[in-house]
Structure 1
Amino acid sequence: MDEKKIKREFILLNVGRAVHHADWNWKNIHSPFTRIHFIESGSAKIVREDHSYTLKEGHLYLTPPHTKHSYSCTGKLSLYYIHIYETLGKQLSIFDILDFPVEIKADELIIFLIKRLAAINPKLELQAYDPKDYDNSPTLIKNISQQTHTPPALEMETEGILKQILSRFLTGAADRNLDLDERILKAIHYIHSNMDKPIKIEELAQASCLTTDHFIRLFRKQMHCTPRKYINQKKIEQAQLMLLVKHISIKELAYQLGFENISYFNRLFKKIAGENPGKMQHNRSPLRLK
C-alpha cells in the first residue's frame, strides 16, 4: 500500500446523535458523501445491493460515497452519524484505491472522539433525518459554508478526529487494484488526471501500448464495464460533488469536466444521477438561504 497515494483530506458536513423509534427506514440512498455510523444502542440494518449488514451496539459502520443503500429499523435505535466528503482533486478517490471494511468494533478512545466531534460542531447536527432532505437542501450549503468560519483550533481538532476515525477503518483496508493489469491501472490514473478534458478511448489505448480493440476487451474484462461507461460514471460522480460544494453554472460545470455538448451532459447526468443537474442545483442553491 503506497502511503503517498492514499493521503486524502476530508471535510465534515454533518455530525450528531439521533434516537430513532422504528423510523430510520430510508430507501435507495445514493449520495456523493461518505457516511459513518456509531451504534450506541439498539439494532438496525444497512442494506446494500450486495449484502445486508445487521448493525450492532458498540460498532462503527462505513458507507463509501456513491454506494446505493437503504436503512431498516424496527425498534429503538441510538446512534451517532458522521457525514464527510473527500476534497476535490485530480486523483482517484481513496475508495477507488482501497476496499474498506464495513464494520469495526469501537474502542473507548474512538467513542470519546466521536462524542467530542459532535460537541465541538453543534451547528452541524441534522435538523431532518430523511437523506433526501439533508442531501438536497440548502442546509447542506449552509453547513459547507460554516466550515470557513470555524476557529482554527477547532478546525484542526476536527480534522484530527476524522483522521483518527478513518485510520481505524484503514487498518483493515485492502488494495482493491492488486489484480489489475498494470496497463489498465495506468489508464484509470490517466482518466482521473484528465477529468477536465474530453478523453478519447484511442488515447487510453495508446497510453496503455495496446490496440484500441484489445484495450477495450481487456478493460471490460478487468473493470466489468466499457472504458466509456467508466469515464462517464466518474465524471458525473465528480459533477455531483462539484454541484454541492461549488457555486457553479451547469454550462461551466460541463466544460470543466470536458463536455462540449451541454445537452449530452444533461442527459448523461440524469441517466447516472437520477435527476437533472439544474434541479439538483436549484434545490441546493445558496440563494435560497434566508
Structure 2
Amino acid sequence: MKRTDMGILNELSEFITLRMKSFWEPVHDGNWIEHKAHIDYDLWFIQSGTTKITVDGIEHTATPGDVVFFYPGVPYMAATIEEGCRFIYIHFDFGIGEQQRILSDFNLSGIIPKGLIREEATLFGKSFLQSNQLNNMPGNRLYLKACLTAVIAKIIELHGQGRYIGTFTNGRITRKSEKNLDVLQPVFTYINAHLHQSIKMNELAALVGISEKYFIAYFKKALGITPVQYIYQIKMNRARDYLYEKKYTVSTNRRLSRLSRSIHVFQGI
C-alpha cells in the first residue's frame, strides 16, 4: 500500500471499531523463549530488559520504551538475554465495519522506536497501571481503550508521514483473505474525482476488471462496508469540510446540496 492510501482511515473514522480482548504485564527471566503466532493484533510495551524477536529468520531487538506490533497469523520467536524482560501486552481487534483486520493491509507490524512514540506509550503505561490498581473505578477501562487508540493512531500517523515502516512482514499482505485494499485503489481515486456525479456500480467494477455483483461483494469483504456506504460517507465528509471552511452554505450553494445527496443518486444497485 502507498502511504497516501492510509487517508482512508481518516475518511472512515466513524466506522472504526476497537475491541480490547486481554492485557497483562508478564515478567520473564533470562531463560524465556516463546514460539507463537497471535490470533489477533498484539502490542508489547517493553518496560525493562532486552527482547530479541525473530520473524522469517530475521532477528529484531526491542529495548525499554519501544513498542512491538504483531499482526495476526505471523509466526515469531521471542527470547530474552541474561537479565530477563518485562512488558505490557494487549490483544485487540481493530476494524472498519465488518472487516476486523483492516490494519493488515498496511506495513505497520514491527518495532516502533521509543523516540517516535514515547508520549503515547507512556500515557498507555500509566493508564494500564491505573486500571490495575483501581479496577472497579468507573471509566478506567474506557480510558485505557482511549490511550490504546492514541497509540495506534500515532503508529498510523508515523507510517503516513514516512517516519516508520514495519519490518516484520516485509510488505506482505497478511490477511488470510486475498481481498485487500490495494486492488480497490483505482475505485477510491475514481470516486474522489467524481463525487458531484452519479456513480454507477458497473463503472466501478469495470475499473478493477470484475463483474458488478462480484465487485460489491469484494468491496464489502475488503473494506467492511458496502460501496454505497463508502460513497455516501465520502460525500458527507466533503460537505462537512465545506461548511467548516465556510466556503459554502447549505441554503445558497447548489454544489453542496448535490454533494450531500442521499443514496438515491446511485444506479444499477
TM superposition score normalised by structure 1:
0.48
In our comparison, the structure showing a higher alpha carbon Rg is 2
Shift of residue 46 of structure 1?
Answer: 1.4
CA contact (8 A) 2:45 2:67 kept: yes
Q: What code does the residue aligned with 2:157 have?
A: T
Q: Which residue does 1:12 correspond to in 2?
A: 20
Q: Distance in 1 between matches of 2:181 and 2:145?
A: 34
More helix by share: 1
In structure 2, what residue type is equivalent to 1:164? A
Deviations 1:91-131 (A, max 9, x none): 4733233222622314255324323224315799xxxxxxx
Deviations 1:15-74 (A, max 9, x none): 2322211243111x2222111112222112111126321111221111122222121223
Q: Which residue number in structure 1 is paired with residue 87 of structure 2?
A: 79
Aligned residues, how many? 174
Residue 87 of structure 2 aligns to a residue whose secondary structure is strand
Tell me what 1:37 maps to. Answer: 44
2:154 match: secondary structure: helix
1:154 positional shift: 2.5
Matches within 5 A, 1:8-157: 8-27=16-35, 29-49=36-56, 51-75=58-82, 76-86=84-94, 89-91=97-99, 93-100=101-108, 102=110, 103-105=112-114, 106-108=117-119, 110-121=121-132, 153-157=139-143
Distance 1:41 1:186, change over 3 A: closer
The residue that corresponds to 1:184 in the other structure is 183
CA distance in structure 1 between the partners assigned to 2:149 and 2:181 by the alignment: 30
The change in CA–CA distance for 1:97 and 1:182 in structure 2 (over 3 A counts) is closer
Q: 1:17 to 1:31 in 2, by over 3 A?
A: closer
Q: Retained in 2: the 8 A contact 1:187–1:207? A: no
Identity %: 16
Gap change, CA 1:73 and 1:82, over 3 Å in 2? same
Alignment of 1:191-230 (within 5 A): 208=207, 210=209
Between the aligned partners of 2:21 and 2:37, the Cα distance in structure 1 is 16
1:171 to 153, 157, 163: 157
With normalisation by structure 2, the TM-score equals 0.51
- Partner Cα distance (1:104, 1:67) in 2: 20
Counterpart AA for 1:210: G
Q: 1:79 to 1:187 in 2, by over 3 A?
A: same
After the TM superposition, list the runs of 4 or more consecutive aligned residues in structure 1 that deviate by more than 4 angstroms. Answer: 121-124, 174-177, 186-189, 206-209
- Deviation at residue 208 of structure 1 after TM alignment: 5.0
Partner of 2:165: none
